Amino acid sequence: MHRTADASVEAMLEDLRTLVEIESPSRDLNALTASAKAVAAVIESRLGGQAVLIESEAGPHVHWSAGGDPQVLILGHHDTVFPLGTLEHRPFRIEDGHATGPGVFDMLGGLVQAVHGLATLADRSGVEILMTADEEVGSRSSRALLEERAIACGAVLVLEGAADGGALKTGRKGCGTFQVTIAGRASHAGLEPEAGVNALIEASHQVLDIAALGRPDIGTTVTPTVASAGTQDNVVPAEATVLVDVRVESAAEKERIESAFAALAPHLEGARITVQGAVGRPPMPESASTKLFALAQHLLPDIEGKAVGGGSDGNFTAALGVPTLDGLGAVGGGAHADHEYLVVDAMAERAHLVAGLVNAIQNA
């Protein structure tokens, strides 16, 4: 691999600070526009060329191409889960070998590392970068675009944070959210409770039925997570809602779960059930990462690979049959939490790993 220079940790931290201090919560179009412009500026300053902002209803996606025949897509996102103002009580800091602040691990650190890694390559032909604005909220506006570029490039490196211990993510469960809405009938809880249809009681039956759909022995988890019902303490509730998180490892389980939700039936006479949702991110089988993970092991023989439960845009690209390797971003932890952190000493190695994989793909 011909490098022009080694990746500078000091320069990476400078760019990371810039991006973190802008703040980029999903669905905040003004914040995401500012973030996209900053991401584009970082890419252009380190790699040259032009980073194009692709407008969408979810905010601007950022696309950069080195030119030449497409060979590898560097895929990530610049939206984060933290609301505006998080920076006030959790500012960007570097202390005890960790960088902290909203989005450092998920996934601004990975974005910066990849850009600086690519900057060390003398030949970047065939490389594309796509940083989307809505991964944290389902990738509805970016899915078609990222799938198009993945197919065109033929290989995808995903910049989500590493698994525990710095492992790469070689497989992911498919995941989705279902909303089950129960319609009953209100009545006075004291005068004539029998005249009502208690949506809360029906919801209780449904929660037990839904939880029983899980098959943890084969990796399927079905977890009711949020419930609401009722308006007053003396009114039989006329409506209830249950949200359910679902994770599956196979397409067959995806079909089974979706069919089971569609077939949910009420226990109480007069109750009605409506179901919305699906397993929106298909499973990412470990077979999708086999070839790329072998290249990574050649570059870093001690690196490990793990299948994980969380989903990413790599689920979409792997489902298309495009070789996909995930977890190439920051080493650290605490994604979506107040203790989120990035390990500074790992930044250069991860930057060079992305560069090495790109070089290996170019010369395969």
* DSSP class per residue in 76-142: EE--BSSPTTHHHHS--EEETTEEESTTIIIIIHHHHHHHHHHHTBS--TTEEEEEES-GGGT-TTT
The verdict on 49 and 89 lying in the same domain is yes
The verdict on 184 and 273 lying in the same domain is yes
User: Residue 137 domain-assigned?
Assistant: yes
The length of the chain is 364
Interval 300-317: pLDDT, tens: 999 999 999 989 999 999
Q: Say how many domains are in the chain.
A: 2
CB 18 within 8 A of CB 42: yes
Domain containing residue 29: CATH number: 3.40.630.10
From 249, 281, 313, give the residue that closes a domain.
Answer: 281
Calculate mean pLDDT across residues 99-122: 98
User: Residue 16 domain-assigned?
Assistant: yes
The verdict on 290 and 231 lying in the same domain is no
User: Residue 163 domain-assigned?
Assistant: yes
Distance CA 112, CA 14 (A): 10
User: Residue 4 domain-assigned?
Assistant: no
Question: What pLDDT score was predicted for residue 307?
Answer: 95
The verdict on 137 and 19 lying in the same domain is yes
The verdict on 88 and 178 lying in the same domain is no
Residues 150-164: b if buried by 16+ CB within 10 A, e if exposed: beebebbbbbbbbbe
217: phi then psi, degrees, rounded to nearest 5: -65, -25
154: phi then psi, degrees, rounded to nearest 5: 90, -5
The verdict on 23 and 36 lying in the same domain is yes
The verdict on 186 and 302 lying in the same domain is no
High-pLDDT (> 70) share of the chain, %: 99
In this predicted structure, the answer to whether residue 4 has a pLDDT above a threshold of 70 is: no
Helix (H) or strand (E) holding 3: none
The verdict on 212 and 236 lying in the same domain is yes
Distance CA 39, CA 68 (A): 22
Interval 196-242: pLDDT, tens: 999 999 999 999 999 999 999 999 999 999 999 999 999 999 999 99
Mean pLDDT, the chain, whole residue set: 97
Helix (H) or strand (E) holding 22: none
The verdict on 131 and 207 lying in the same domain is no
Report angle CA 205, 207, 211 to the nearest 5 degrees: 125
The verdict on 166 and 202 lying in the same domain is no
| Residues 6 or more apart in contact with residue 97 via CB below 8 angstroms | 343, 344, 345
In this predicted structure, the answer to whether residue 3 has a pLDDT above a threshold of 90 is: no
User: Residue 3 domain-assigned?
Assistant: no
> Residue 269's domain spans which residues?
174-281
From 249, 265, 281, give the residue that closes a domain.
Answer: 281
Report angle CA 130, 301, 75 to the nearest 5 degrees: 5
High-pLDDT (> 90) share of the chain, %: 97
In this predicted structure, the answer to whether residue 78 has a pLDDT above a threshold of 70 is: yes
Structure tokens at 2: 């011909």
Interval 245-259: pLDDT, tens: 999 999 999 999 999
The verdict on 123 and 245 lying in the same domain is no
**pLDDT band at 2, cuts 50/70/90?**
low
User: Residue 2 domain-assigned?
Assistant: no
CB 357 within 8 A of CB 156: no
Interval 116-170: pLDDT, tens: 999 999 999 999 999 999 999 999 999 999 999 999 999 999 999 999 999 999 9
Radius of gyration over alpha carbons of the chain, in Å? Answer: 23
Question: What pLDDT score was predicted for residue 265?
Answer: 98
The verdict on 202 and 307 lying in the same domain is no
Distance CA 127, CA 242 (A): 44
From 231, 247, 281, give the residue that closes a domain.
Answer: 281
User: Residue 1 domain-assigned?
Assistant: no
Domain containing residue 277: CATH number: 3.30.70.360
Q: Tokens 């498919």 map to which residue?
A: 174
